Each structure stands twice: as structure tokens, then as C-alpha cells.
């Protein structure tokens, strides 16, 4: 715990560090999103999109005449119709040197570059009428050769998808730190593996959705959308549509899950905005599940060739990786599609002491849906590569894998630490986390049980995975690259006349508990009941400016802003109460909604009396007393580019070598996310992240054929983890408060996803080891296990 206690946060009646009920939980679980039944907008139109059936094809001609005559159809548009309304965008970050991408438009012009790219749009009185009209649009196509794989896209002589770019290399990065060649030359053992990770997607409970309402009279656009970052979305609209800054409002109510899918700009959503401006009527679009599979961003498609050098005494001497990834035909706007690969290069091996590291990254354009940031961007791949190599190295020198980690993890007293790739770690707890994990799971006992069961022909495996997680990103993450994404968040806290508190904050709610976390902080500082705090999020006209919720930043950045705003309001309340009571503010306190004597706790006046006096009875106050019953504060990370968390995960599973099926028996997580505001929310964020990580490890894969056609674009074919397959997930915590903030909180939203695939992969390979087999391709399906065993 912190050596610098915060008096009002550490009091017995504080809500910090306590699991509390979530009054809004049922509302969030309903997943109704921004388009609730009680919204009634006049003359609402519905949009539907004609999407390319080909991965790569030239659009020779589009005939929309028949579709325009369909009942209920108001307008059919193609790219040419929207050219004057929306300027194109290019998804590059200028600080990623050499990165390139082609301009992108709301609707494909001349060519379609992935199966599912929107080509034409229909606006009609109902969704059914709009979809019926799509069948009447006649397109003359000229199918072009696809480039479905990154290997094909970068092969010598490959035709550039975009001629203006010259080739299909979107971005490249190299790192060469230390004496890598010397380390490999003097190693007692060198292990190597090529790890393959399948492309998959977010499968949000609520699909992407947008409603654009444009009032031609005053030229005001109100945008209701399921976005994680409303202020970013407003800036995007201002950049690409002919509207003034004061004429755009973006509202993002409770979003039904996002996982990073909803922080990007999508062509169909830009087309909806353009239709609203063109027609002067509200236009609504909700992607159906079939559309989501071919239009939502994908992620994780990487092939990583990796090596590790190790001494016979268990010292990791060097790591080298070569990462190749394909990102689709465009880099996603505005965050780009290079960040995932860039983070893999930065993160791999970073939690171990070795100073010798070499990495190469190549990011290729291809004719599949765009890839970009998805929960735990790059972390699951970096972790699986690193931890897979560690287990291989342990086997090569006949050392227990837990012991090899113990000898190489950064020492807890060694901070601050700089990794070979340049990442700065303030203060982590890898060694303590490992020891806590081995105790929690009874590692030695499981090893004994494993040996006994192997003698009976039962194949069980134990997998460990240490990791770090990037949280609380500062301006060096996106703003320095030119993206309109704020690194700060703001919070306004107001005392109402009746003694309740309203808090407006720029971080957003997607079901992870943002509103509960903020309310706990504000209620603790102001000494009011949790139920007396109302939190408002997701509205550019009602909240201070801020970045929104992504990259595990809600508590670390938004929570700190809430803390500082509540402290400022608390001081103002005590100043006013002191004037009313003719007492020094320092002699007063706030507890349970009352102004009390700081020494004795005796109640003096209620907060409602302070509120009424401040708002309505200024005549009763001493001269020169100016009530200030609202306070706003912002927070932006400055000391470090990121706040890293760390942890360890472990998996215990059983493998059926006849069928290749894996049964997950138990999963453990030890996590250090700094000060915990709500342990219940922390635990469930970890468990939810673990489940998504298990999906990547065992189930989820977007299967494409050589022509770039998605073969499993429905939930009948695309496997996601279900409750029946999930193990019990036990979570334990360490707390190393972040020194750069008063709250001391880091993020937690992606840690579970970061380490779970590596732990499961290592456990499966541990079960396979006596049989001389191993797997390195995710998802690890029964067929892949049987092939590794030579049984398929």
C-alpha cells in the first residue's frame, strides 16, 4: 500500500478499495446502447450498405436507378455523390517514421479492396426497405487478383494495392540493442520457434451503431454513436465535414462493449453523417452481425520468428524476433494500424533483465478488412512469444520454468528501469508477483499431481506467463503523431442545492464500471453516500474535454481528475460552511452528508443547507463571500509516457490426446495495478479479459480462403468462448501505487487478455512434452494438436 496515505480516501467510511453494488449494472447489461426505445426523432431514415462481394475488384459501373424507385427509398448514393461533403482521410501517425497509407473515403471509389468494403448506401424510411433496395443496385465488377496474405503482399514482384504508394509495405521498424550476435555465439543453448497468431475480431455484445441528426436551419449536427471517445469523434467530424466547431455535438451513452473496436473511424459511419447533411434528416445505422464480421476492425494476424539464447545457469542472454503482419488495404484512422506491431516490438522480452535484443517489424497492406487496435494491443502476442521462448529455454537446459523466470525477471528493487527497446518502467513487482503466484496455485503440489497422473495416462499441463501492461498513456502515444486524441481527461463536480453531487467526466462507460469508480472517488472525498452522486459521461456538451476510455486509462487518468476536482469542491464547501458558521474551514469536515466538527465529529449543518445558502440566500452570507459550489480539474500524465502494470498468469488443464480437446481446469492471475478503487470491478475486468484471451488461444479465428473470402462470418461458425468451457479464475493482487499521481491508480482493463493466451499455450505444450510434440499456432484447435501428435 502507499506510504503516503490520503486521509479522506483511507478513512473507514471511504468507498476506495471496497467492492460496492453497481446501481447501473442492469442498465448496462441490457446493452441497448444509444438507440433506446424512448428516442423518437422526426422523419428518421435508416441506412443500409451495399458491400463488395470481392476481396479486390474494380468498380466499372454502378446503376442505382431501380433501387431509387423502390418504396420508401429517399436516396441512393455512391462515392461520387458524397465527394463534396466529406474529405478523405489517411490513417498515419507522423511519429512512426516512414509510415504510409492511401486516402480512404466513405464509399469505395473505382476499386473495392476487401470483401465487405461499402460501395453504395441507401437511405429509406425503414431498415427493411433500405435492405430491399440494395438488391436492386447493379454493379459491374472486374475482379482483380487478391493479396490475402502478408507474405504474398511483400513477395518480390507483388503488385501494389495502391499504385501511388509504390509497394505494399505500410511500416517497418527495427531495434538492435546490446551485443546480440555475441550473446547468441556464447550461449549454451539457443531455442527457436515460429509463432503464428490468427486474425480475429471483437464480437461486441452491441454492434457498432450511429445516429446522425442534422438541423439545416441552424446547421447543427448531433451525433449519437457507440464510440469510446466522443471528443475524438467530434474532432474527426470537424476535420472532414464543412461544419463549425460550435455546431457539432457527440453523444455516447452507455455503450454495450467495445474492446477497442469502437475507437476507430469507419467508412460506413462517415457515410451516415454525410447522408444526414445531404438530406437534412436524421439517419440511423446499426451494423448487423454479418456486417460486423467484415466491417469491424480485425486484429492479431502475426507471424513471429523468434529466438532466445540462454546460459546453462539459466541466464537469458538475448532475444531476437522477426514479426510480419498484414493490416488490410488501409491503415485505420486516426490511430493507425501500425501500433499493434509497434507494441509487439517494444514489449517482447521487456520484463526480463537481458539487455541484448533485436527485432524487425514489417507491416503489409493486404486485401482483407483493416486491422487495428483491439483489447491489449500487441500484448498477447509479445507475451506468448516471450513466455513460449522461456519455456523452450527451460526445457533445453533442464531447468524448471518457474526457476528460470525467477532468475531473469527484473528485480523489484531495480527500478526505474529502461528496456532494450526504450520502454521506461517506474516501479513494478515481478518477483513478488511470481512468488505470490507459486504460493497461490500450490505450484509444487500441482507438479507432484501432474507426475502421478502421467503415470496413469492422464495428460495435464501447467503454464506460466509473466507480463506487463501499458496503461495511462500520455501525449506521446497519439497526440505527438498528429491524431486528434486527447491525453488528458477532465472532471467537473457540482454540489446541488439539495446536497447531492453531480459529476461530469470525459472518460466513458462501456460496461466496465467507469461511473461506479468515479462515484466512489467523489463520494469518498466529499463525505456523501454513494447513492447521492450522479455521474454523467459521454457528451461533448456536458462533460469537460478529454480522451475517453481506451488503453486502460479510465481510472488512472479520469479517476485522478475526479479526485482533484472533488478535493477542490470540498475545500470550497468548507470555506462556505466556515463563513456560515463563523468557523475556520480547517476546523470543519464533511461526513455522511453533514458539515461536522473536525475534532469531535459533531454535526453542525447539512450539505443541503450549504447548497441552499450558496445558491439562493447569498444575502445571509458575510460580505465578500462568493460561493463556488462547482470545481473542474484535468489530469494528464507527465512523468512517464505510460504507467505499466505487471502480473503473472497460470493455467492448469487436461489434454485428451485421442481427440485433441483441451479441458481448462483452473486459471490464476496475480496482478499489480497500483491502488485499487473497486476490487470487485478490478477482479471482473481481469476475469473478462482472461476469457477474451482464452478465446484467442483456443477458439477465435477469421478463416479466409486464397481469394480473400471470409469463410466463417457468422456466430454459427466463428467460435467465441462460452461459460461451459471456462475454468474457475482465481485472482490475487499486489498494490504498488503509481508515484506520479495522488490516487496512485494504474489501469486494469487489458491485463487478463495480455497473459492468458501465453499461459494456456505453455500449459498445452507442457502436457504434450512427454509425447515429443508442441504447438505454436493460435488458436490451438483440436486439429492442430492432433497434427502435432502426428494423428491427423
Cell digits of residue 135: 438488391
- Position 396 scores a pLDDT of 98
- Position 595 scores a pLDDT of 98
| Residue that finishes a domain, picked among 595, 613, 632 | 632
C-alpha–C-alpha distance, residues 64 and 70, integer Å: 10
Cell digits of residue 672: 499489480
Residue 81: CB atoms within 10 Å: 19
Residue 432 to residues 45, 130, 467, 733, 747, Cα–Cα distance (Å): 58, 59, 13, 10, 19
The DSSP annotation for 678-692 comes to -HHHHHHHHHHHHHH
C-alpha–C-alpha distance, residues 53 and 198, integer Å: 22
- Position 475 scores a pLDDT of 84
> Is residue 655 located within the same domain as residue 792?
yes
Which residue reads 466513458 in cell numbers? 508
Q: In this structure, are residues 49 and 267 in contact, taking their beta carbons and an 8 Å threshold?
A: no
- Position 240 scores a pLDDT of 98
Specify the DSSP element, H or E, that contains 210.
strand 209-215
> Is residue 659 located within the same domain as residue 745?
yes
> Is residue 572 located within the same domain as residue 604?
yes
- Position 23 scores a pLDDT of 53
Q: In this structure, are residues 309 and 316 in contact, taking their beta carbons and an 8 Å threshold?
A: yes
| Residue 241 is assigned to a structural domain of this protein | no
Q: What is the 3-state secondary structure (H, E, C) of 596-662?
A: EECCCCCEEEEHHHHHHHHHHCHHHCCCCCCCCCEEEEEECCCCCCCEEEEEEEEEEEEECCCCCCE
- Position 477 scores a pLDDT of 85
- Position 13 scores a pLDDT of 74
Give me Rg for the CA atoms of the chain. Answer: 28
Sort strands 220-225 and 248-251 into parallel, antiparallel or unpaired.
parallel
Q: Say which residues have a Cβ less than 8 Å from residue 692's Cβ, sequence separation at least 6.
A: 259, 375, 721, 752, 753, 756
Residue 516, sorted as left (phi over 0), alpha (psi -120 to 50) or beta, turns out to be: alpha
| Residue 770 is assigned to a structural domain of this protein | yes
All residue ranges of the chain with pLDDT < 50 are 1-5, 24-39, 41
Our count of domains for the chain comes to: 2
| Residue that finishes a domain, picked among 602, 632, 662 | 632
| Residue 467 is assigned to a structural domain of this protein | yes
> Is residue 788 located within the same domain as residue 718?
yes
Q: Can you give the residue range of the structural domain that contains 666?
A: 440-487+637-792
| Residue 497 is assigned to a structural domain of this protein | yes
> Is residue 613 located within the same domain as residue 670?
no
Specify the DSSP element, H or E, that contains 176.
strand 169-177
Q: How many separate helices (H) and strands (E) can be counted in the chain?
A: 21, 31
- Position 36 scores a pLDDT of 37
Which residue reads 527451460 in cell numbers? 394
Q: What is the dihedral of CA 698, 702, 705, 707, to 10 degrees?
A: -160
C-alpha–C-alpha distance, residues 406 and 400, integer Å: 10
Q: What is the 3-state secondary structure (H, E, C) of 278-344?
A: HHCCCEEEECCHHHHHHHCCEECCEEEEEEEEECCCCCEEEEEEEEEEECCCCCCCCCCCCHHHHHH
Helix orientation angle between 443-454 and 430-440, rounded to the nearest 10 degrees: 50
| Residue 291 is assigned to a structural domain of this protein | no
Q: Say which residues have a Cβ less than 8 Å from residue 41's Cβ, sequence separation at least 6.
A: 211, 213, 282
Pick the closest to residue 755 from 351, 446, 459, 456 (CA basis). Answer: 351
662-672 sheet: strands from edge to edge: 459-471, 643-655, 662-672, 728-734
| Residue 784 is assigned to a structural domain of this protein | yes
| Residue 263 is assigned to a structural domain of this protein | no
Q: In this structure, are residues 593 and 611 in contact, taking their beta carbons and an 8 Å threshold?
A: no
End-to-end CA gap in the chain: 53
> Is residue 500 located within the same domain as residue 594?
yes
Q: What is the 3-state secondary structure (H, E, C) of 341-359?
A: HHHHHHHCCCCECCCCEEE
- Position 8 scores a pLDDT of 61
> Is residue 660 located within the same domain as residue 784?
yes
> Is residue 469 located within the same domain as residue 560?
no
Q: In this structure, are residues 222 and 249 in contact, taking their beta carbons and an 8 Å threshold?
A: yes
Interior angle at CA 287, CA 756 and CA 367, nearest 5: 70
Chain segment 643-660, per-residue pLDDT in tens: 999 999 999 999 999 999
> Is residue 474 located within the same domain as residue 594?
no
Give me the residues paired with residue 361 across strands: 173, 323
> Is residue 574 located within the same domain as residue 661?
no
Helix orientation angle between 379-396 and 751-768, rounded to the nearest 10 degrees: 30
| Residue 322 is assigned to a structural domain of this protein | no
| Residue that finishes a domain, picked among 565, 597, 632 | 632
> Is residue 786 located within the same domain as residue 654?
yes
> Is residue 554 located within the same domain as residue 690?
no
Specify the DSSP element, H or E, that contains 514.
helix 514-526
- In CATH, what number is assigned to the domain containing residue 543? 3.30.365.10
Amino acid at each position: 500500500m502507499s506510504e503516503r496515505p490520503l486521509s479522506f480516501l483511507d478513512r473507514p467510511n471511504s468507498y476506495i478499495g471496497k467492492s460496492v453494488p453497481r446501481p447501473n449494472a442492469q442498465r448496462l447489461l441490457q446493452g441497448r446502447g444509444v438507440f433506446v426505445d424512448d428516442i423518437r426523432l422526426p422523419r428518421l431514415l435508416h441506412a443500409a450498405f451495399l458491400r463488395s462481394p470481392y476481396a479486390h475488384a474494380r468498380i466499372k459501373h454502378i446503376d442505382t436507378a431501380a433501387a431509387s424507385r423502390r418504396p420508401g427509398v429517399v436516396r441512393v448514393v455512391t462515392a461520387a455523390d458524397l465527394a463534396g461533403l466529406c474529405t478523405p482521410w489517411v490513417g498515419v501517425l507522423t511519429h512512426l517514421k516512414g509510415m504510409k497509407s492511401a486516402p480512404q473515403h466513405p464509399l469505395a471509389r473505382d476499386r473495392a479492396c476487401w470483401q465487405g468494403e461499402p460501395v453504395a448506401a441507401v437511405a429509406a424510411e425503414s431498415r427493411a426497405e433500405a435492405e430491399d433496395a440494395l438488391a436492386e443496385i447493379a454493379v459491374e465488377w472486374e475482379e482483380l487478383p487478391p493479396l490475402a496474405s502478408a507474405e504474398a503482399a511483400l513477395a518480390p514482384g507483388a503488385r501494389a494495392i495502391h499504385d501511388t504508394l509504390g509497394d505494399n509495405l505500410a511500416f517497418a521498424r527495427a531495434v538492435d540493442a546490446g551485443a546480440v550476435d555475441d550473446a547468441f555465439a556464447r550461449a549454451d543453448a539457443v531455442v527457436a520457434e515460429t509463432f503464428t497468431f490468427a486474425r480475429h475480431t471483437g464480437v461486441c455484445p452491441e454492434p457498432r451503431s450511429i445516429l446522425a441528426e442534422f438541423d439545416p436551419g441552424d446547421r447543427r449536427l448531433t451525433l449519437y454513436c457507440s464510440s469510446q471517445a466522443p471528443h475524438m469523434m467530434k474532432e474527426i467530424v470537424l476535420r472532414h465535414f464543412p461544419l463549425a466547431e460550435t455546431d457539432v455535438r457527440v453523444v455516447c451513452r452507455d455503450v454495450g462493449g467495445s474492446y477497442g473496436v469502437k475507437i476507430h473511424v469507419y467508412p460506413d459511419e462517415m457515410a451516415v453523417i454525410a447522408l444526414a447533411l445531404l438530406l437534412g434528416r436524421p439517419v440511423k445505422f446499426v451494423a448487423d452481425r454479418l456486417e460486423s464480421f467484415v466491417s469491424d476492425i480485425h486484429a492479431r494476424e502475426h507471424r513471429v520468428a523468434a529466438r532466445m539464447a540462454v546460459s546453462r545457469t539459466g541466464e537469458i542472454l538475448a532475444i531476437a524476433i522477426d514479426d510480419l503482419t498484414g493490416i488490410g488495404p488501409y491503415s485505420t484512422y486516426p490511430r493507425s494500424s501500425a501500433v499493434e506491431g509497434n507494441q509487439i516490438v517494444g514489449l517482447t522480452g521487456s520484463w526480463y533483465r537481458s539487455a541484448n535484443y533485436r527485432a524487425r517489424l514489417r507491416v503489409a497492406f493486404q486485401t482483407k478488412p483493416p486491422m487495428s487496435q483491439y483489447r491489449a494491443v500487441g500484448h498477447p502476442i509479445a507475451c506468448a512469444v516471450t513466455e513460449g521462448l522461456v519455456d523452450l529455454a527451460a526445457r533445453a537446459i533442464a531447468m524448471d520454468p518457474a526457476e528460470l523466470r525467477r532468475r531473469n525477471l527484473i528485480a523489484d528493487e531495480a527500478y526505474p528501469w529502461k528496456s532494450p527497446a526504450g520502454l521506461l518502467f517506474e516501479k513494478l513487482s515481478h518477483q513478488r508477483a511470481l512468488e505470490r503466484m507459486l504460493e497461490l496455485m500450490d505450484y509444487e503440489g500441482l507438479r507432484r499431481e501432474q507426475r502421478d497422473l502421467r503415470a496413469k495416462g492422464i495428460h495435464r499441463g501447467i503454464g506460466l506467463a509473466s507480463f506487463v501492461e501499458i496503461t495511462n498513456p500520455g501525449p506521446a502515444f497519439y497526440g505527438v503523431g498528429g491524431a486528434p486524441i486527447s491525453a488528458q481527461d477532465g472532471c467537473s463536480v457540482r454540489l446541488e442545492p439539495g446536497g447531492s453531487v453531480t459529476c461530469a467526466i470525459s472518460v466513458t462507460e462501456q460496461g466496465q464500471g467507469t461511473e461506479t469508480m468515479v462515484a466512489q472517488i467523489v463520494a469518498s472525498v466529499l463525505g456523501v453516500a454513494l447513492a447521492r452522486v450522479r455521474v454523467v459521461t459521454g457528451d461533448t456538451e456536458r462533460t469537460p474535454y478529454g480522451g475517453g476510455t481506451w488503453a486502460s486509462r479510465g481510472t488512472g487518468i479520469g479517476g485522478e481528475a475526479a479526485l482533484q476536482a472533488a478535493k477542490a469542491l470540498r475545500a470550497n464547501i468548507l470555506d462556505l460552511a466556515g463563513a456560515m458558521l463563523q468557523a475556520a474551514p480547517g476546523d470543519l469536515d464533511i461526513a455522511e452528508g453533514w458539515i461536522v466538527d473536525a475534532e469531535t465529529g459533531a454535526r453542525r449543518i447539512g450539505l443541503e443547507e450549504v447548497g441552499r445558502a450558496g445558491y439562493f440566500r447569498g444575502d445571509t452570507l458575510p460580505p465578500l463571500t462568493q460561493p463556488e459550489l462547482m470545481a473542474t480539474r484535468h489530469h494528464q500524465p507527465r512523468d512517464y509516457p505510460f504507467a505499466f502494470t505487471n502480473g503473472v498468469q497460470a493455467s492448469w488443464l487436461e489434454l485428451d490426446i485421442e481427440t485433441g480437446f483441451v479441458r481448462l481446469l483452473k486459471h490464476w492471475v496475480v496482478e499489480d495495478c497500483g491502488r485499487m478503487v473497486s476490487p470487485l470491478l478490478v477482479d471482473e475486468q481481469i476475469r473478462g479479459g482472461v476469457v477474451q484471451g482464452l478465446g484467442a488461444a483456443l477458439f477465435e479465428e477469421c478463416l479466409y480462403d486464397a481469394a480473400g473470402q471470409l469463410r466463417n462470418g457468422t456466430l454459427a461458425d466463428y467460435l467465441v468462448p462460452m461459460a461451459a468451457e471456462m475454468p474457475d479464475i482465481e485472482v490475487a493482487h499486489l498494490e504498488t501505487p503509481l508515484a506520479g499521481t495522488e490516487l496512485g491508480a494504474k489501469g486494469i482493463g487489458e491485463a487478463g487478455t495480455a497473459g492468458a493466451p501465453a499461459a494456456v499455450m505453455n500449459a498445452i505444450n507442457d502436457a504434450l512434452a512427454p509425447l515429443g510434440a508442441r504447438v505454436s499456432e493460435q488458436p490451438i484447435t483440436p486439429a492442430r494438436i492432433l497434427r502435432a501428435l502426428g494423428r491427423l
